[in-house]
Amino acid sequence: MIEDLKTKGWTKFKQENLNSEYENLTTYIKFLEDKLNFQIKNTNSKIDKEIFKSTLRSLVKISSESNYFLLEIVKKIVSLDKKYENYYVSYPYLLFHLPSDREEKGTLHTDTIKESGESITCWSPVNYYNLEYSPLTIIEKTNNFFDLYFLKILRRLLSDNKIYNLYYKKFKNTVDLKPEKLDSFIWDADTIHVGNLNEGEKPHYALTSKISKEPHLTEPSIKVKDYILSEKKFKNFDKIEYEILFNEINNINQRIKNFYKNNNFDSESKIFINMLSNIKKEINNKELIHCIAFAYSLIGFKQKDRKLSLLQYFTSVFFLPKYLSSFYNVIMISKELKNFSYLDYLKKIPNFDEIFQQMFKNKYKKYLN
């Protein structure tokens, strides 16, 4: 397996599933999916679908089911090569693709983050049914400098679709993954791949995580050996009801939109910050705060209005400063809009001293000093 990873850029294996981790996770996802469908049916149709989806994805992220599942994958990888014990693993991240949802169709990309060093991606379909289509395509043997640089050049001249059909299909081995239950896949972070449109009739779910030599630059991560040792803590994770989290996320989003509609975005950031402060004071559950922060990193990503997107990304970081993907987007959108009032507040966050936060601060120091 490790040799395949080096030579082809990817490999796969069957999950051990020693304690029914797969069944437990897929059952929990199906339970939440039923809640989501009921909520959509009985709620105002004007609510953005990302509110519903982010609720489900947040609950899976913090669940004992997803962590036990990821733990078995991590143990498997360590059994193949002990060096990974001293690497870092990011926490479970659920991909959720609705049927025919073109917004979720991916582009040719890699998972490379230079600051994280040598890295691999773990990707495991976690569906309660057999897939009817290939959710992901891997371009074999592209985890090298030439192929990565050549893709950058081709992108200046051609669309992704033309690059794939005119170059990769003819000159590379393209592999359409068709996973069966209990299949897990690993690829080198430098391997070029693309997520495909869900052509089936049901939602597709996959759980992903990154394992890297250094901490993940924009997502919380933990030393692999420490993650393995924390197994006993998983059973103590609090369960939050779908309806409770959905209502919190939706109510906050309504207040964000009301601020945006009734206040001056450029000059009244203090009003917005005070509003979030009052909301956060009313929430005592740490897991609920975690879920809200993660949800707004997803909601901000899908938002087309750049000002509203900045407010949503800001909300993510305000609730939990560990979501540096949101912090990055606050920086980039602030620069684009030439409004730094929201970023100026985030620059004053105390205790911003975990290793990955320091890495982030160092990379973007010209914006954060």
Q: Within this chain, do residues 209 and 258 fall inside the same structural domain, yes or no?
A: no
The secondary structure element, H or E, covering residue 52 is: helix 49-61
Q: DSSP readout, 280-315?
A: HHT---HHHHHHHHHHHHHHHHH--SHHHHHHHHHH
Is residue 167 included in any domain, yes or no? Answer: yes
- In the prediction, which pLDDT does 256 show? 97
> Average pLDDT of 146-151?
94
Percent of the chain exceeding pLDDT 90 equals: 78
> Average pLDDT of 266-277?
96
- In the prediction, which pLDDT does 104 show? 76
Q: Sorting pLDDT into bands at 50, 70 and 90, what band is 206?
A: very high
Q: Within this chain, do residues 228 and 128 fall inside the same structural domain, yes or no?
A: yes
List the CATH number of the domain containing 205.
2.60.120
In this structure, what is the dihedral angle of CA atoms 347, 351, 355, 360, given to the nearest 10 degrees? Answer: -10
Q: Sorting pLDDT into bands at 50, 70 and 90, what band is 350?
A: confident
Q: Sorting pLDDT into bands at 50, 70 and 90, what band is 5?
A: confident
Can you tell me the distance from the alpha carbon of 369 to that of 357, in angstroms, rounded to the nearest whole number? 14
- In the prediction, which pLDDT does 275 show? 97
The pair phi, psi for residue 310, each rounded to 5°, is: -60, -40
- Lowest average pLDDT, out of 2-11, 285-294, 317-326, 348-357, goes to 348-357
- In the prediction, which pLDDT does 353 show? 79
- In the prediction, which pLDDT does 66 show? 96
- In the prediction, which pLDDT does 103 show? 78
Of the three residues 232, 262, 293, the one that is the final residue of a domain is 232
Catalogue the long-range contacts made by 302-307 (C-beta closer than 8 Å, 24 or more residues apart). 302/48, 302/50, 302/103, 306/333, 306/336, 306/337, 307/260, 307/265, 307/337
- In the prediction, which pLDDT does 46 show? 79
Q: Within this chain, do residues 59 and 109 fall inside the same structural domain, yes or no?
A: yes
- Give the pair of three-digit tokens for residue 156: 């200046």
Q: Within this chain, do residues 298 and 363 fall inside the same structural domain, yes or no?
A: yes
- In the prediction, which pLDDT does 190 show? 96
Give the pTM: 0.93
DSSP state of 231: G
Instruction: Specify burial of residue 273 (Cβ count, 10 A radius: 0-12, 13-18, 19+).
Output: middle
- In the prediction, which pLDDT does 368 show? 87
Is residue 217 included in any domain, yes or no? Answer: yes
pLDDT digits (tens, 9 = 90+) for 19-70: 899 999 999 999 999 999 998 888 877 788 899 999 999 999 999 999 999 9
Is residue 336 included in any domain, yes or no? Answer: yes
Which residues lie below 8 Å from residue 338, measured CB to CB, with a gap of 6+? none
Domain that holds residue 146: 2-232
| Domains held by the chain: number | 2
Q: Sorting pLDDT into bands at 50, 70 and 90, what band is 248?
A: very high
Q: Within this chain, do residues 73 and 209 fall inside the same structural domain, yes or no?
A: yes
Percent of the chain exceeding pLDDT 70 equals: 100
Q: Within this chain, do residues 164 and 47 fall inside the same structural domain, yes or no?
A: yes
Q: Within this chain, do residues 212 and 343 fall inside the same structural domain, yes or no?
A: no
Can you tell me the distance from the alpha carbon of 221 to that of 121, in angstroms, rounded to the nearest whole number? 13
CA distances, 121 to each of 5, 118, 124, 210 (Å): 11, 11, 10, 5
Is residue 237 included in any domain, yes or no? Answer: no
Q: Within this chain, do residues 52 and 191 fall inside the same structural domain, yes or no?
A: yes
Mean pLDDT taken over the chain: 93
Of the three residues 178, 197, 232, the one that is the final residue of a domain is 232
Is residue 293 included in any domain, yes or no? Answer: yes
Paired residues of 187 in beta bridges? 10, 121
Can you tell me the distance from the alpha carbon of 18 to that of 128, in angstroms, rounded to the nearest whole number? 18
Is residue 259 included in any domain, yes or no? Answer: yes
136: nearest Cα among 71, 211, 187: 187
Of the three residues 210, 232, 254, the one that is the final residue of a domain is 232
Is residue 359 included in any domain, yes or no? Answer: yes
Q: Within this chain, do residues 248 and 181 fall inside the same structural domain, yes or no?
A: no
Can you tell me the distance from the alpha carbon of 87 to that of 312, in angstroms, rounded to the nearest whole number? 32
- List strand residue ranges (DSSP E) for the chain, in order: 10-14, 88-90, 93-97, 119-125, 136-139, 174-177, 183-188, 193-195, 204-212, 221-223
Whether 130 has a pLDDT exceeding 90, the answer reads no
Q: DSSP readout, 161-209?
A: HHHIIIIIHHHS-EEEE-PPTTEEEEEETTS-EEEPP--SSS-EEEEEE
Q: Within this chain, do residues 307 and 211 fall inside the same structural domain, yes or no?
A: no
Q: Within this chain, do residues 157 and 281 fall inside the same structural domain, yes or no?
A: no
Q: Within this chain, do residues 140 and 58 fall inside the same structural domain, yes or no?
A: yes
